[in-house]
A and B are shown apart, each in its own frame.
Chain A
Amino acid sequence: MPAGRTWHDRHLGILFVLPATLLLVAVLIFPAFITLKLSVTPEGGSGWTLTLIHYQKAFRDPVLLQTFKNTFAFVALSLVGHFVLGLALAIALNQALPGQTFFRLLALIPWTIPDVVAGIIFRWLLNPIHGALNPLVRMVFPGFPAEFQWLSSPTLAFPSVIFANVWRGYPLVMVMLLAGLMAIPRELYEAAEVDGAGRVRRFVHVTLPGLRMIILIALALDMVWEFRRFALVLTMTGGGPGTLTEVLSTLVYKSYFQFFTFEYASAMAILMSVVLFILSLPYIILVGRER
């Protein structure tokens, strides 16, 4: 400890972080503890009689198993969409084009729209009778069915929700990748060009290595967020048709607020948190290494 530091100096930092710490305890730690306790409380019970029955039930629940599969598919496909679209747009918006700032702002718009609103917009767009998509498709393909069903189709409902989610979420990845692209020194591209590298080789050997860390961080963060996606799915399909678009967050919500099985819903929420923690480990490790 450096000489001359007073008690005041040593403890001043604690005072500064105290409000944020207390807030964190109030809004995160305490509810998490309550949820954990509820998950090991017998149904309708109280006090400190604890049980693991809800976890046993969860591991045998076919609906939960199916919902886990749906959620993994939803996250994986959303991530692919976000990355492909985000990278393509980031590269396009990194070019010195007229109106560059305007187009960058335009590309950010989906990120500013709340999930619920995006869900309602897509529900309307895809409505077979009043929606805007069918007439648009018919303008290009006149033989396309006038009342084509998107969200009511067992095969198209899930892709439709993922499409909406890709549109809603790509700007975050795009912004991060764009920042990464802007940080790659131009000299590296010039040197590669002098060495005879074409566009593809420059992309593979300069751009991608330059973005490696940012891609990992962006996808790790995006994965965590997509795993928790709730309002978009709820407003677009409510988990239907049947349970084809059910994801973990909507199932936990239903179990808690519609079935009133608070304890079982809490157990599912804890399991979801554990999976989420495991999925976020790469990000935590990466951030740790950076430090």
Chain B
Amino acid sequence: MRQGMHWWRFVAIAGIAAAVLTVVAAPATAQVKIRFQTWHWNEKPWVNSLEEFQKTFNQANPGIEVVRDDSRYGDKEAVFTTQSQAKAAADIPHFSYRPIRHFADRGYLLDLSPFIEKEGGQKYLAQWDPQALEICKYKGKIYCLPDDLNPLVLMYNTQHFKEAGLDPAKPPATWDQFLDYGRKLTRAGRYGVGILGARQEGVFMRFNPWLWGAGGDYLTPDEKRSALDTPEALEGFKFYVELFTKHKVVPPGVIEQGAQEVRTQLAHEKVSMIITLPAAPGIVQAINPNMKVREVMALAPVPVGKKKVTSAWFSLRVISAFTKNPEAAWKVYKAWYDKDSQMRNFKIAGVLSSRLDVRNAPEVKADKYAQVFSAQTPYVKLEPLVPEWPKIGDAMLTAIQEGLTGVKTPEAALKGAHEATNRALGVQ
């Protein structure tokens, strides 16, 4: 009995000591939570890179905790707008380059200039691609740092090429060849080309190379009027929609196909060629783990029409003007943009950074896919950064859908977009 009492005392003292030690030895509770918002939190392979960043940062910075904040690609701007109106936006949201100036005008974005000055000003900024950086500068302020500026290229299934008697080492280089290959690759249950027709901004990236490649454009050089009434614009527009309506090299249901649906079609061998971005090989692999993507899929520049040009996926992160912890948010922001994080993002997700030291790193230059993407960087063109772009873009999406479904002829559909663009620009 006496011995038993000693035993219980020992257990009790040991328990208390263990509890005290646990409390003392445990890392201090994070004081500040920084909401890191992106639609990639639920997407492989990006989520792996994000989680690695989150883990690494939180371990190294006990006073700050990076917490995930999910957005959806389709309504990320809507979510941010609503949250900003309520002054409760995520500290660090993620967008494409298109809405940045709208948000800056609305006062939703924090001017990063003071932080950048502290980091060394121009010397600090010199680490990024100057063309990409320009997008972040607006009315004398800097609202972002460029994240991934990724040219779009042609991705194709080499096995399908072989089956169709085409040489995988000689991908289509011109529009005529592209159409010819598309026809040859189209056979029972499989289509030569996957294109987008759904109402989403991803359409522009895949449509623009054809519009611009024909020598057309959305706006006149002074950006005051629509340029969609030119024969060149019509040529590019017709080429895109007629891949489906006339040449039948695109699967049915095209206006239901967004970027992910088309990548899924490629992953499941329903289509043979798509226009895509650097993360695509990783995504296709995630969709179809049984496919040996790096062996089967090859990349090539977008086929050339009258002009050699391509579009780009260009995303960037900002800091909300309503963040309660600007210093901590900047610390997280800066960490995301440092060389290690950006290199990790390339290794895991295949994303090409706008940081010059990452883009020029030997392992990036040696990567067979990154080589193709990097080589297209000089030919990148972006959509006009006019405030009316959302309306112009919507008019163009309407025209693309009308052209693809035969609601209107390509001429009438593009004319509608031309008139809507001029209306949006206030042209009488």
Chain B positions within 8 Å of A238 at CB level = 198-200
Asked whether A70 is an interface residue with its Cβ less than 8 Å from the other chain, the reply is no
Report chain B residues within 8 Å CB of A243.
398
Question: A242 contacts B398, CB within 8 Å?
Answer: yes
Beta-carbon nearest neighbor of B106 in chain A: A260
In the complex, A128→B250 CA distance in Å? 12
In the complex, which residues 254-287 of chain A have their Cβ closer than 8 Å to any Cβ of chain B? 254, 256-261
Q: How many pairs of A and B residues are in contact by the CB < 8 Å rule?
A: 82
- Among A44, A129, A254, A261, point to the contact of B253 (Cβ < 8 A): A129
Is the C-beta of B342 less than 8 angstroms from some C-beta in chain A? no
* Contact A242 to B77, CB < 8 A, known contacts A129-B252, A151-B253, A258-B394: no
Binds A, one of B311-319, B361-369, B371-379, B404-412: B404-412
Residue pair B253, A241 in contact (C-beta under 8 Å): no
Chain B: residues with Cβ within 8 Å of the partner, total of 35
Kindly state whether residue B391 has any CB partner on chain A within 8 Å. yes
Chain A min CB distance to B42 (Å): 15
Contact of A260 with B102 in the complex, beta carbons under 8 Å: yes
Q: How far is the CA of A108 from the CA of B391 in the complex (A)?
A: 41
Are A257 and B252 in touch, CB under 8 angstroms? no
Which chain B residue shows the least CB distance to A257?
B78
**Contact (Cβ within 8 A) A258 B407:** no
Interface string of B161-198 (1 = CB under 8 A from A): 00000000000000000000000000000000000011
**Bound Cα distance A152, B406 (Å):** 10
Q: Is A21 part of the binding interface, using a Cβ–Cβ cutoff of 8 Å? A: no
- Specify the main secondary structure of chain A where it touches its partner: loop
Are B199 and A259 touching (Cβ within 8 A)? Answer: no
In the complex, B256 has a CB within 8 A of chain A:
yes
> CA of A112 to CA of B165 in the docked complex: distance in angstroms?
53
Known contacts A129-B251, A152-B405; A257 and B81 CB within 8 A of each other: yes
Q: Which residues in chain A, 150-197, are within 8 Å of chain B measured between CB atoms?
A: 151-154
B401 touches A240 (CB 8 A): yes
Closest to A147 in B: B252
Please judge, given known A-B contacts A238-B198, A241-B402, A241-B407, whether A253 and B78 are in contact too, CB under 8 Å.
yes
Instruction: Verify A154–B252 contact, CB threshold 8 A.
Output: no
A207 contacts B by Cβ under 8 Å: no
The interface residues of chain A lying within 8 Å CB-to-CB of B408 are 242
In the complex, what residue of chain B is closest to A127 when comparing beta carbons? B253
Which residue, of B75, B252, B402, has the highest number of chain A Cβ atoms within 10 A? B252
| B359 interface contact, C-beta 8 A | no
- As a 0/1 sequence over residues 64 to 85 of chain B, the CB contacts with chain A under 8 angstroms (1 = contact) are 0000000000010110011000
B291 beta carbon closer than 8 Å to chain A: no
Residues of B within 8 A of A94 (CB): none
Contact with B along A218-249 (1 / 0, CB 8 A): 00000000000000000000111111100000
Q: Out of A127, A148, A259, A261, which one reaches B256, CB within 8 Å?
A: A127
Pairwise interchain contact A241-B252, C-beta atoms closer than 8 A = no
Q: Is B263 in the interface zone, CB < 8 Å from A?
A: no
**With contact pairs A153-B405, A259-B390 given, residues A123 and B256 touching in the complex (Cβ less than 8 Å):** yes
Contacts of B99 in A (CB 8 A): 260
Cα(A239)–Cα(B402), bound, Å: 12
Shortest distance in angstroms between A159's beta carbon and chain B's nearest beta carbon? Answer: 14
Q: Is B270 an interface residue (CB 8 A)?
A: yes
CB pair B252 A149 closer than 8 Å: yes
A-B contact pairs, 5 of them (CB 8 A): A152-B254, A238-B200, A240-B198, A240-B255, A242-B398
User: Which are the 6 A-B pairs with shortest beta-carbon distances?
Assistant: A257-B78, A238-B199, A241-B405, A242-B402, A128-B253, A128-B252
**Which A residues lie at the B interface, using CB under 8 A?**
44, 123, 127-129, 147-149, 151-154, 238-244, 253-254, 256-261
